[in-house]
Amino acid sequence: MRLDLISIFPDYFSPLQLSLVGKAITAGLVDLNVHDLRQWTHDRHHTTDDTPYGGGAGMVMKPEPWGEAFDAMEEQSALPLTVVVPTPAGRPFDQALAYELAERQRLVFACGRYEGIDQRVIDHCSEKYELIEVSLGDYVLNGGEVAVLAIVEAVVRLLPGVIGNPASLDEESHAPGHRLLEYPNYTKPPVWRDRAVPEILLSGNHAAIANWRRERALERTRERRPDLVDDDIGNGFGA
Ligand X SMILES: N#Cc1c(-c2ccc3ccn(Cc4ccc(CN5CCCCC5)cc4)c3c2)n[nH]c1N
Residues annotated within the binding site for S-adenosyl-L-methionine are 112, 136-141
User: Closer to ligand X at the Cβ: 97 or 175?
Assistant: 97
Of the candidate residues 3, 13, 37, 112, the single one contacting ligand X (CB under 6 A): 112
Residues in the chain: 239
Please say which residue, 77 or 95, places its beta carbon nearer to ligand X: 95
Beta carbon of residue 203, minimum distance to ligand X (angstroms, whole number): 44
Under rule CB under 6 A, how many of the chain's residues touch ligand X? 19
Buried b (16+ CB within 10 A) or exposed e, 130-158: ebbbbbbeeeeeebbbebbbebbebbbbb
Q: Of 5, 6, 37, 136, which one interacts with ligand X (CB under 6 A)?
A: 136
65 touching ligand X, by CB under 6 A: no
Measured distance CA(3)–CA(22) in Å, rounded? 13
Please state, in angstroms and rounded to a whole number, the distance separating the CA atoms of residues 109 and 82.
Answer: 9
R_g (Cα) of the chain, nearest Å: 22
Please, which residue, 49 or 213, has the CB nearer to ligand X?
49
Site residues for ligand X, window 8-37 (CB under 6 A)? none
Query: Which of 142/187 has CB closer to ligand X?
Result: 142
Among 63, 88, 99, 212, binds ligand X (CB under 6 A): 88
DSSP code string of 105-141: SEEEEE---TT-B-HHHHHHHHHHSEEEEEES-SS--
Q: Are 145 and 12 in contact (CB under 8 A)?
A: yes
Considering only the stretches 39-47, 132-140, 152-160, 220-228, report the one whose residues sit in contact with ligand X under the rule CB under 6 A. Answer: 132-140
Interacting residue with ligand X among 140, 167, 191, 239 (CB under 6 A) = 140
Interhelix angle 145-156/19-26, nearest 10 degrees: 60
What string marks each residue from 141 to 160 as x (binds ligand X by CB under 6 A) or -?
Answer: xxxx--x-------------
Residue 140 near residue 35 (C-beta atoms within 8 A): no
Which residues does residue 5 pair with via DSSP β-bridges, in sequence order? 34, 109
Q: Which residues bind ligand X (CB under 6 A)?
A: 86-88, 90, 112-113, 115-116, 134-137, 139-144, 147
